[in-house]
Amino acid sequence: MRSNSEITVANFRESAVRSFLFFWYDFELKVKNLNRKEDENVFQQLRTRYAEALKTSLQQTAEKLLINFQGNKQGLRVCLTEQVSHNISAFMGKVDSL
């Protein structure tokens, strides 16, 4: 049987995937017509803006889950913080591959 923290982390991951895809597809639409050689500065500004927006969204989701969690909140906080960092790194890696 799964523990409450495992269930909470799974719920976070499900929400994180939705957020990731939302921000990714929106970012992709914004930069699709940019010429990277001429508009690199604009691209980098958008990259930063979207990464920060995703991070904020993920942190808010994590905080909501922590508020409702009954158990070791500190351990769960560490796990969710790692999940946020992982998602931001994945987003940046995907952006950098364009």
> What does the pLDDT read at residue 1?
52
pLDDT average, residue stretch 37-51: 95
> What does the pLDDT read at residue 2?
62
> What does the pLDDT read at residue 20?
98
> What does the pLDDT read at residue 25?
97
pLDDT tens per residue across span 63-77: 999 998 988 889 999
pLDDT average, residue stretch 17-43: 94
pTM for the model stands at 0.91
Long-range (24+ apart) CB contacts under 8 A made by 45-54 are 47/92, 47/95, 50/23, 50/26, 50/91, 50/95, 51/88, 51/91, 51/92, 51/95, 53/23, 54/19, 54/20, 54/23, 54/87, 54/88, 54/91
